[in-house]
Amino acid sequence: MGRGLTALHHLDPPAQSPLYFLFMGRHFDCSSATHEKWTDRKVKGLPEITQWQSPGKAKKAVKKSGSGDRSMAVPQAFPVGPLPEPAGALMEAQPCAQNLAEGFLEEELRLNVELSQLHFSQPVGLIYNPVDYAWEPHRSYVTRYCQGPKEVLFLGMNPGPFGMAQTGVPFGEVSVVRDWLGIGGPVLTPAQEHPKRPVLGLQCPQSEVSGARFWGFFRNLCGQPEVFFRHCFVHNLCPLLFLAPSGRNLTPVGICDAALCRQGPLLGVRLVVGVGRLAEQRARRALAGLTPEVQVEGLLHPSPRNPQANKGWEAVAKERLSELGLLPLLTK
């Protein structure tokens, strides 16, 4: 399966175990693949609903070897009952792991287990999990750059089709990941792949504009990645890329909040900077009431779909980081 950490090797790929969830008041038992088998069912305490199930997952194949269209939001998912913990899953965050990187990877695999219980209906057509199929470069990113406590966490929402979905690295523009961050490794294919969103790994020719702007700014500011990661880390709230049947990106809402409450204290962060309004809002909601308190601020998203970002995102970002008092942390 290629997701490292011997204790969790047995974990099944995402979208295998059936579990019931409420979506905007509707109840579904479904997986994230195709719109195939439709039935009607009554559930105790709930009105009659429509459900669907897909035929299963395709076998992975080895390839050679971030944030995109946010035009539609995926409804919130609420478990009808408590999530069952799979055998062998980690029950608590592990701040005393052999090192911070290992503990963080274990937390991500725990989240993978939790997400594997979730099943989404329309408008979701396909789901990619690069923490699964791009495990090798993702693990390299975490183990190289998450070796000590972090003061600041830059938080994105979820992978873009030409960024993390290809490289396993948040805002993972291929050229930056390969040439500046020095990350490589084999990338598998998702269990099911949309023809308009093929996963080509580090051979992907399509630029991730948001990632190029984001990492390009910090490359110019910091010079070397070690300067940036001395006090900071970059992570996505949700590791999943949601695609509509047309291939359009969908934005997740209301999932993975609990995981952030575990990951923030594990990293030791005092400040979370949400990249984009939605990431900031989700972080504020997730971390409200956390002790010790974690400050949450926002940074303009570098997406080319954002007209304000197209007028000079780098200047806006530098001014914002100056307001937050972060520039001294990002220079030698």
pLDDT digits (tens, 9 = 90+) for 260-306: 999 999 999 999 999 999 999 999 999 998 888 999 999 999 999 99
Q: Is residue 11 assigned to a domain? A: no
| 8 A C-beta contact, residue 212 and residue 176 | yes
Task: Please report which helix (H) or strand (E) contains residue 166, including its range.
Answer: helix 164-167
Angle between helices 313-323 and 209-222 (to 10 degrees): 50
Max avg pLDDT among 44-58, 59-73, 180-194: 180-194
Mean pLDDT, range 173-193, rounded to an integer: 96
Cβ distance 42 to 20 under 8 Å? Answer: no
Within-domain flag for 30: no
Phi, psi of 8 (to 5 degrees): -115, 15
Higher pLDDT, 259 or 2: 259
Q: Which domain holds residue 215?
A: 100-329
In which element (H, E) is residue 257 found?
Answer: helix 257-267
Domain membership of residue 61 (yes or no) is no
d(CA 103, CA 293): 21
Task: Give the model confidence (pLDDT) of 118-143 as tens digits.
Answer: 888 889 999 999 999 999 999 999 99
Domain count, the chain: 1
Q: What does the angle CA 235 – CA 238 – CA 200 come to, to the nearest 5 degrees? A: 80
Residue 92: inside a domain: no
Helix (H, G, I), strand (E, B) or coil at 294: coil
pLDDT confidence band for 81 (50 / 70 / 90): very low
Q: Indicate whether 154 belongs to any domain.
A: yes
- What is the rounded average pLDDT of the residues 173-188? 97
pTM above 0.85, yes or no: no
Q: What is the CATH number of the domain that holds 186?
A: 3.40.470.10
Q: In the prediction, which pLDDT does 95 show?
A: 44
Report the pLDDT value the prediction gives residue 121, as an integer from 0 to 100: 82
CA gap 54, 122 in Å, rounded: 13
Does residue 46 form part of some domain? Answer: no
Average pLDDT over every residue of 4-8? 34
Examine residue 62 and state whether it is found in any structural domain, yes or no.
no
Q: State the chain's maximal CA–CA distance in angstroms.
A: 62
Domain assignment of residue 292, yes or no:
yes
Residue 25 DSSP one-character state: T
pLDDT at 77 over 90: no
* Per-residue tokens: 272: 């979370």
